[in-house]
Amino acid sequence: MSEHSTNTAKSENPASYMNMSEQTLEKTLDAVRDNLIKSIDEYVKIQPRFLQTITDFQLDSIQSYKDTINKTISSQKKFLKEFVTVSQSKPNETYQQLFKRSNENIDNFVKAFYAGNNYNFDTIDNSRENLKSYHKAIDTFNQYSTNAFDAWMSFAKSFSNHL
């Protein structure tokens, strides 16, 4: 069949031309879907590394806390030796003040630790909520697009029926 006869056949049979366009669009959308899913699959591949990075950060933080405790206690021991030497006149009162301050410092450290963790938990929870909102917006957009397309198609069909 020559090119002219193919073009004539398309113009004479719009249904076959439309069918070909639908197939092209369907193949295009299938390719888009496949590529998007492939992108997500690639993202999933990095998840273990992401989780390992978070775990490593947590372990490094824990080790940092332990190091800070050890260095602080070591420093406090040195300070205490000097302090005891100077305060031999009232050792009982001196120790009570020292332990009181030490307990206050620990309480403040624990409060700061919990505040930091709560901040991290809140950040993760907020990110999850934002993700839910994003998906809801995408679903709403898709529904709106479908409704707009359906309305347009209804108009186009009614318009073509009057010609």
Among 45, 70, 86, the domain-final residue is: 86
Q: Are 48 and 123 within one domain?
A: no
Q: At 72, is the secondary structure helix, strand, or coil?
A: helix
**In a shared domain, residues 68 and 82:** yes
- Residues 75, 27 share a domain: yes
Q: Is the pTM of this model over 0.85?
A: no
Note down the domain range covering 105. Answer: 90-163
Give the dihedral sign, CA 143/144/147/150: negative
* C-alpha dihedral (58, 59, 62, 64), degrees to nearest 10: -100
Query: Are 99 and 29 within one domain?
Result: no
The residue from 86, 106, 128 where one domain ends is 86
Q: Are residues 156 and 139 in the same domain?
A: yes
**Residues with Cβ within 8 Å of residue 43, at least 6 apart in sequence:** none
Q: pLDDT 10s digit of each residue in the chain, 163 long? A: 444 444 444 455 555 555 668 788 889 999 999 999 999 999 899 888 888 888 888 888 889 888 888 888 888 888 777 776 766 656 677 677 777 888 888 888 889 888 888 888 898 889 889 989 999 999 999 999 999 999 998 888 887 776 6
